[in-house]
């Protein structure tokens, strides 16, 4: 007979065998699962390899796929995040931000905006004030949406592209970057709109600091007291002719109008990049097609903000035009006025060509002698040499006489030996290059003509791009869409 101990031992043996079989099965299942996973990875890899082989395997192709995946994921995430704001519904009534009465809810209105992640549909609660008629969308206010379809980073980049290159070229660049076809007319309206807002901000700041009013004088004194005093501040003023659609005054008028520009920088804003060249890294620049009174208000505002009235030294740089010296004299009466050396040499070269014609060797030798003499402040010597230049034609004689008169008129601003000894910048084209950068590079393209408003809008935004005011313009909210 089988004893109790034998039966217990048999049960333990069977149980152990079952546990062992179960462990073996689990191990086999894990191995099968791992094999399946490896097989699936290999299959996916083979599919991808075949795909990229068919497309032409390259980093560019892979990166293009990844960018599309990122855009698609970003689009879904943006939709998800915006859905959390709802429609902006604030009840059946809300306080009117314009007059303080109660606005009434009128229903939801659809709006489509375009972002760097693509098209985004919105549904927004709309409120209207029966007292003043002002209507608004609280959701637009909360999100800081601007007028127009382009919003967010896409709006900023589209504006940036459009102020740096023609609208048609900007359209092509944005299509490559975002795979979105933005019509050049849309880009033009965008720049006009942003420029109008920028100009309005500039005008308001200039109005607040205008010396024509008691309030403006007080605001100026407040700004002067708060400004950091630079050791030496440069104020440069120049003009650059701009093609406009202005009414022509006579048969000789081609419609060009002068855009007046300014450049303000301190000694510490420059770095020496080579023996004869310094680069201005900071400072301020601005411009506008306007009259002398409006321009003077703009120069005054920027000069005060730069610490001009507290600077130990102020250097005024100009090309010799009377309105330039008048502007500098009115804004900075104590400024040391210096005639831009490169502009002066332009006059000298015209006179040399009139005197020597096509004979290059004596032309270059004469011009070099004049430049050396001017840097030593030998003005009488330069005048004698210019007056002795040979000239057979009446027109050539007139060019030489015009140069002589130009030097006589600006003689008190040409002590270059003293200026250089004190370390002053004598010009080197600094101010003239400001006009070319701010205006010429974008507004003087082949066949371009500008309305005065569009030209000033473009110049205003470009001035912010080339200074440290760009980020402030895009980080701070402006007027919202109504």
pLDDT of 39 strictly over 80: no
Q: Return the HEC string of 180-247.
A: CCCCHHHHHHHHHHHHHHHHHHHHHHHHHCCCCCHHHHHHHHHHHHHCCCCCEEEEEEEEEEEEECCC
Per the CB < 8 A criterion, the answer to whether 151 and 145 are in contact is yes
Establish if 154 belongs to a structural domain.
yes
Over range 323-328, report the average pLDDT: 95
List, for residues 239-251, the tens digit of each pLDDT value.
Answer: 999 988 887 776 6
Six-digit token string for 411:
């003689």
Over range 36-51, report the average pLDDT: 71
Distance, CA of 188 to CA of 442 (rounded, Å): 13
Per the CB < 8 A criterion, the answer to whether 236 and 434 are in contact is yes
Q: Specify the pLDDT at position 238.
A: 92
DSSP 15-59: HHHHHHHHHHHHHHHHHHHHHHHHHHHHHHHHHHHHHHHHH---H
Share of the chain above pLDDT 90, in %: 57
List, for residues 54-77, the tens digit of each pLDDT value.
Answer: 555 678 888 888 888 899 999 999
pLDDT class of 50 with cuts at 50, 70, 90: low
DSSP 248: P
Decide which of 141, 169, 197 is a domain's last residue: 197
Per the CB < 8 A criterion, the answer to whether 169 and 184 are in contact is no
Establish if 332 belongs to a structural domain.
no
Establish if 144 belongs to a structural domain.
yes
Which of 46-60, 116-130, 401-415 is the least confident region?
46-60
Whole-number mean pLDDT of the chain? 87
Distance, CA of 354 to CA of 369 (rounded, Å): 17
pLDDT of 1 strictly over 60: no
Per the CB < 8 A criterion, the answer to whether 446 and 185 are in contact is no
Max distance between CA atoms of the chain, in angstroms, equals: 148
Decide which of 197, 213, 238 is a domain's last residue: 197
List, for residues 190-231, the tens digit of each pLDDT value.
Answer: 999 999 999 999 999 999 888 777 777 777 887 777 777 889
Decide which of 197, 224, 251 is a domain's last residue: 197
Establish if 65 belongs to a structural domain.
no
Per the CB < 8 A criterion, the answer to whether 102 and 93 are in contact is yes
Over range 313-329, report the average pLDDT: 94
List, for residues 362-401, the tens digit of each pLDDT value.
Answer: 888 999 999 999 999 999 999 999 999 887 788 999 999 9
List, for residues 465-481, the tens digit of each pLDDT value.
Answer: 998 889 888 876 554 44
Over range 426-452, report the average pLDDT: 86
Establish if 121 belongs to a structural domain.
yes
pLDDT class of 6 with cuts at 50, 70, 90: low
Establish if 125 belongs to a structural domain.
yes
pLDDT of 52 strictly over 70: no
For residue 453, give Cα distances in angstroms to 194, 196, 285, 288, 466.
12, 8, 19, 10, 20
For residue 169, give Cα distances in angstroms to 161, 191, 247.
9, 14, 29
Angle between helices 360-375 and 379-387 (to 10 degrees): 160
Establish if 255 belongs to a structural domain.
no
Per the CB < 8 A criterion, the answer to whether 362 and 325 are in contact is no
Q: Specify the pLDDT at position 190.
A: 95
Distance, CA of 398 to CA of 347 (rounded, Å): 12
- What domain count does the chain have? 2
Domain that holds residue 111: 82-197
Please give the model's pTM, rounded to 2 decimal places.
0.80
Residue 15's Cβ-side half-sphere holds a number of Cα atoms within 13 Å equal to 6
Which of 10-14, 117-121, 187-191, 220-224 is the least confident region?
10-14
Establish if 386 belongs to a structural domain.
yes
pLDDT of 433 strictly over 90: no
Q: Specify the pLDDT at position 276.
A: 64
Q: Specify the pLDDT at position 249.
A: 74
């Amino acid at each position: 007979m089988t004893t109790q101990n034998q039966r217990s031992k048999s049960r333990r043996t069977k149980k152990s065998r079952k546990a062992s079989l179960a462990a073996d099965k689990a191990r086999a299942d894990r191995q099968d699962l791992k094999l399946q996973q490896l097989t699936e990875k290999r299959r996916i890899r083979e599919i991808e390899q075949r795909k990229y082989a068919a497309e032409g395997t390259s980093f560019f192709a892979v990166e293009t796929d990844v960018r599309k995946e990122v855009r698609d994921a970003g689009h879904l995430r943006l939709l998800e995040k915006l859905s959390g704001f709802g429609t902006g519904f604030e009840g059946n009534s809300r306080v009117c931000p314009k007059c303080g009465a109660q606005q009434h809810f009128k229903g939801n209105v659809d709006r489509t905006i375009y972002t760097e992640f693509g098209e985004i549909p919105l549904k927004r609660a709309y409120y209207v004030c029966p007292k003043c008629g002002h209507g608004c969308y609280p959701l637009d206010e909360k999100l800081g949406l601007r007028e127009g379809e382009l919003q967010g980073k896409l709006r900023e980049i589209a504006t940036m592209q459009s102020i740096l290159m023609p609208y048609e070229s900007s359209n092509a660049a944005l299509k490559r970057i975002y795979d979105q076809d933005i019509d050049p007319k849309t880009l033009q309206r965008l720049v006009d709109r942003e420029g109008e807002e920028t100009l309005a901000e500039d005008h308001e700041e200039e109005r607040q600091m205008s010396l024509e009013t008691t309030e403006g004088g007080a605001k100026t004194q407040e700004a002067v007291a708060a400004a950091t005093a630079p050791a030496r501040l440069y104020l440069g003023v120049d003009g650059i002719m701009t093609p406009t659609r202005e009414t022509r005054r006579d048969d000789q008028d081609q419609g060009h109008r002068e855009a007046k520009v300014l450049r303000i920088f301190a000694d510490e804003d420059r770095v020496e990049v080579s023996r004869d060249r310094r680069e201005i890294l900071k400072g301020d620049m601005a411009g506008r097609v306007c009259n002398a009174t409006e321009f003077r208000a703009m120069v005054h505002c920027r000069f005060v903000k730069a610490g001009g009235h507290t600077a130990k030294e102020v250097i005024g740089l100009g090309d010799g035009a009377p309105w330039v010296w008048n502007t500098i004299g009115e804004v900075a009466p104590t400024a040391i006025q210096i005639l831009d050396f490169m502009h002066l040499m332009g006059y000298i070269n015209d006179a040399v060509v009139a005197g020597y014609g096509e004979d290059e060797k004596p032309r270059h030798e004469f011009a070099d002698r004049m430049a050396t003499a001017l840097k030593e402040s030998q003005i009488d010597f330069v005048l004698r040499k210019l007056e002795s230049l040979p000239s057979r034609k009446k027109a050539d004689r007139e060019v030489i006489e015009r140069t002589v008169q130009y030097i006589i008129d600006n003689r008190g601003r040409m002590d270059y030996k003293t200026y250089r000894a004190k370390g002053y910048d004598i010009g080197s084209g600094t101010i003239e290059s400001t006009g070319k950068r701010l205006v010429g590079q974008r507004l003087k393209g082949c066949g371009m003509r500008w309305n005065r408003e569009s030209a000033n809008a473009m110049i205003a935004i470009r001035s912010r791009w080339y200074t440290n005011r760009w980020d402030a313009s895009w980080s701070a909210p402006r007027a919202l869409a109504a």
